[in-house]
Chain A
């Protein structure tokens, strides 16, 4: 099955700086890569996703890049704010009804 690795496990940045979280996957058939943000006591919330026919996607301060050849994808958060502090999970799957394989999570702390 798919194996998703995520780094770093913890990340602290100063407010206004950028944060980058990286994930690698093993199954070249995976074609859907979402990122989830989980705040304390809440379920994961989808923040951005990318499909394998796209190399980069951006939504305001958040961007995701995908390198299919190297089988890795990254989350970039610019101009970080304290409310960005949360645990972020990457995932990989075959789209439509297939299970997600989640990374181990990154605990991001934005220091005011």
Chain B
């Protein structure tokens, strides 16, 4: 199955700033997915990122707050903009491969 390198693994950020999370996949994939996992909660899909087109956002998530880049078939970034403490969560990327869906190890974000 695909191997995903996600970074940073964790960060503590000041409110009002932005953080960009990167995901690198060891194989070419058509779609990459970005999820949020709030403390003690399940995973919620933020958006689906296709190479060469704008990301598709789920209800409750907007591009201005979570801009996504997908410059090629192995890489994507998610930016959490103008952060507030409510953005403290684990953010995960995911891809579909032959073995099912694989997740990155996540980015644990704390906003203070």
Contact = CB atoms under 8 A, between A and B. Distances in A.
Contacts, number: 46
A16 B31 CA distance: 40
A89 B58 contact: no
A89 B43 contact: yes
Interface string B86-105: 00000010001001111111
A42 B92 CA distance: 10
Contacts of B4: 43
A46 B104 CA distance: 12
B7 to A, nearest CB: 13
Nearest to B31: A97
Contacts of A100: 43, 45, 101
Interface of B: 1, 4, 6, 30-31, 33, 41-45, 48, 58, 92, 96, 99-106, 108
30 contacts: A34-B100, A34-B101, A41-B106, A42-B105, A42-B106, A43-B4, A43-B6, A43-B92, A43-B104, A43-B105, A43-B106, A44-B43, A44-B92, A44-B103, A45-B103, A46-B1, A46-B100, A89-B42, A89-B43, A97-B30, A97-B96, A99-B33, A99-B48, A99-B58, A100-B45, A100-B101, A102-B42, A102-B44, A104-B41, A105-B41
